[in-house]
């Protein structure tokens, strides 16, 4: 009997704790947005993590789990995730166990009103669209914010695509020399996997290129990213200009 009463007391305390947190005191979850700015695409991870010791049930009014907006330094909105999308107009639920996370991935090609946005710092804001947590109404929508710097359009490389895995990759795209010769190297953030190699072009205009990459398995990192760096060396002083990183594989 004493064990039963103790168990019931723990259960009541757990329910009260969940209700208190859901009411807005201290949320038992973390919500964040992580932007990665590439040469031609902004990759964004939206992460929802259960930081409590009990399961969390999120209820959404539609199939849209989050909203993302991106503004320039003047406050002008240049990207809205939901724009042009249709969402199922029905209740949706998501359950996360303790220490479990849900990761959504989105991308943006830097284009606003038909043109690439200007170089500069941009503000990314994600808003969780859940309206209930474990049956309790969420008073406010949880938000996450981050800043990211978007570089100017690369004048020497564009439209890079990658296929393959485990050391065997094919990289295609377009390139043109602007003020020097073109090269590439491959590294994993710690070690150079392939030393500088020339990327030959025949004209001063845009040309398609194809790079076949073969890296021995023993040279590949156990974890991390394998990155091919395209770049140009200046005729004037040989310095590296117009760098264009291409992720071959995340391990």
Token pair belonging to 62:
């539609």
The Cα 159–Cα 40 span in angstroms is: 8
Q: Which pLDDT score, from 0 to 100, does residue 14 have?
A: 45
CATH number of 27-150: 2.60.40.2360
Query: In this model, does residue 65 exceed pLDDT 70?
Result: yes
Fold classification of 157-250 is: Immunoglobulin-like (2.60.40)
pLDDT tens figures, 101-134: 999 999 999 999 999 999 999 999 999 999 999 9
Query: In this model, does residue 6 exceed pLDDT 50?
Result: no
Q: Which pLDDT score, from 0 to 100, does residue 179 have?
A: 86
Domain segments of the chain as ranges: 27-150, 157-250
Rounded mean pLDDT, 136-155: 97
pTM: 0.81
Question: Which residues, listed in sequence order, are joined to residue 172 by a DSSP beta bridge?
Answer: 161, 210
Q: Which pLDDT score, from 0 to 100, does residue 5 have?
A: 40
pLDDT tens figures, 148-207: 999 999 999 999 999 999 999 999 999 999 988 999 999 999 999 999 999 999 988 999
Convert the chain into a string of H (helix), E (strand) and C (coil): CHHHHHHHHHHHHHHHHHHHHHCCCCCCEEEEEEEEECCCCEEEEEEEEECCCCCEEEEECCCCCEEEEEECCCCCEEEECCCCCCCCCCCEEEEECCCCEEEEEEEECCEECCEECCCEEEEEEEEECCCEECCEECCCCCEEEEEEEECCCCCCEEEEEEEEECCEEEEEEEECCCCEEEEEEEECCCCEEEEEEECCCCCCCCEEEEEEEECCHHHCCCCCEEEEEEEEEECCCCCEEEEEEEEEEEC
The Cα 119–Cα 110 span in angstroms is: 10
Provide the 10 A C-beta neighbour count for residue 232: 25
Topology agreement, domain 27-150 and domain 157-250: yes
Q: Which pLDDT score, from 0 to 100, does residue 85 have?
A: 96
CA distances from 14 to 10, 29, 95 (A): 6, 16, 17
Query: In this model, does residue 40 exceed pLDDT 50?
Result: yes
Beta carbons within 8 Å of 64's beta carbon, 6+ residues apart: 82, 85, 87, 129
Query: In this model, does residue 13 exceed pLDDT 50?
Result: no
């Amino acid at each position: 009997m004493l064990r039963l009463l103790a168990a019931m007391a723990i259960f009541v305390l757990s329910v009260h704790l969940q209700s208190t947190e859901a009411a807005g005191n201290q949320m038992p979850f973390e919500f964040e947005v992580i932007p990665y700015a590439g040469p031609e695409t902004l990759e964004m991870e939206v992460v929802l993590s259960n930081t409590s010791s009990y399961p969390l049930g999120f209820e959404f009014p539609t199939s849209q789990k989050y909203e993302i907006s991106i503004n320039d330094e003047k406050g002008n909105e240049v990207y809205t995730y939901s724009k042009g999308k249709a969402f199922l107009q029905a209740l949706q639920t998501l359950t996360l166990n303790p220490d479990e996370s849900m990761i959504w991935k989105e991308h943006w090609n830097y284009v606003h009103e038909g043109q690439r946005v200007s170089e500069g710092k941009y503000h990314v804001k994600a808003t969780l669209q859940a309206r209930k947590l474990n049956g309790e109404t969420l008073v406010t929508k949880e938000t996450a914010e981050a800043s990211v710097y978007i570089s100017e359009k690369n004048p020497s490389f564009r439209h890079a695509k990658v296929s393959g895995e485990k050391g065997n990759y094919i990289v295609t795209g377009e390139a043109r020399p602007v003020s020097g010769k073109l090269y590439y190297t491959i590294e994993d953030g710690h070690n150079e996997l392939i030393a500088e190699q020339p990327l030959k072009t025949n004209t001063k205009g845009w040309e398609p290129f194809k790079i076949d990459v073969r890296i021995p398995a023993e040279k590949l990192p156990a974890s991390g990213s394998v990155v091919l760096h395209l770049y140009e060396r200046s005729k004037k002083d040989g310095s590296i200009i117009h760098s264009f990183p291409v992720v071959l594989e995340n391990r």
